[in-house]
Amino acid sequence: MIEHPDRNLAMELVRATEAAAIRAYPWIGHGDKNKADGAAVDAMRKFLGTVDFDGVVVIGEGEKDEAPMLYNGEHVGNGNGPACDIAVDPIDGTSLTAAGRQNAISMIAVSDRGTMLDASSVFYMDKIVTGAAGRGGVIDIRKPIGENIRALAKALDKDVSALRVAVLDRPRHAQLIEEIREAGAGTRLMLDGDVAGGINAARYESRIDMCVGVGGSPEGVATAAAIKALGGFIQGRLVPSTDDERQKGLDAGLKFDHVYEADDLVSGENTFFVATGVTDGEMVAGVRRLGPIIRTESIVLRSHSGTIRRVTADHLVSKWLEE
């Protein structure tokens, strides 16, 4: 029999994201993203090694900028328990952490072995993410952004002017941002934090209604695991930067001029997504030093049960940080 990940695994994985966030804490605002990332990677790898599962990193981090990384194909866990695909990013938002800005998180996504798309050979993906209102043909990435905005506003029973669309603040998005505003919606420009932006678009209590634009393709796969747990909507199209990258993608079995749906990105129905705040954000609060304790806030999502859990933990400073 195939052993599937159970709810206890999610709570164990939180320990790894908490550890990564805490180890990154001393580097918040100190201008060195690689030292922050390196500390987080070391902590996450150490804690993952104690977890009862046989995980293979399908989506690692670090390839784009040669940062410290949990590499693709790396086995994590103690080898006992369910066989899983995992996507990891010890810090999604290393530049945010280094600058002391909001919305940096430590995250892990998990699904049954063989169910997570390996999109690592193509760095970028054009994505659109909403909550459940975008499902059922309401939103389609192939349509103009203005048309999608009006359709979502109608589905949400909102004025278009009340919609808020999150977009990475990049030169490549100048035209997209202009079109969003011309449609009458407002923008929320993100300096970084691609995963958190997508998840916020699908959370019912969020002030973000939609997240669009070109970001990391590995981040798109990780976001899909969370979106499935939230019952939201995601589509993506791969965007190769060069002919060589396109060929690498083709060699890896990836499709271009193709719309990837949530089930294409993560085909399993038992997905987990866990994230701990490194710096403060709308989704989770960042790491805080409160006298003799360090406080962390995490979110745990599971698609099989459709549950969202929040975990606040206090950790003794003496067990974590050198004074």
Annotated binding site for Mn(2+): which residue ranges?
37, 61, 89, 92, 219
Between CA 127 and CA 223, with CA 210 as vertex, the angle to 5 degrees is 50
First to last CA, the chain: 49
**Among 318, 307, 300, 309, CA closest to 14:** 300
Question: How many CB atoms sit inside 10 A of residue 139's CB?
Answer: 23
What are the angstrom distances between the C-alpha of 322 and each of 8, 24, 60, 207?
31, 13, 29, 38
Quickly tell me which residue has 């589509």 as its tokens.
235
**H or E segment to which residue 254 belongs:** none
CA atoms within 13 A on the CB side of 96: 23
211 SS3 class: strand
Distance CA 210, CA 193 (A): 15
Distance CA 145, CA 22 (A): 39
Greatest distance between any 2 Cα atoms in the chain: 55
User: Which segments are annotated as binding site for substrate?
Assistant: 92-94, 124, 170-172, 192-194, 216
User: Which segments are annotated as binding site?
Assistant: 37, 61, 89, 92-94, 124, 170-172, 192-194, 216, 219
Distance CA 21, CA 96 (A): 13
142 CB burial (10 A radius; 0-12, 13-18, 19+): exposed
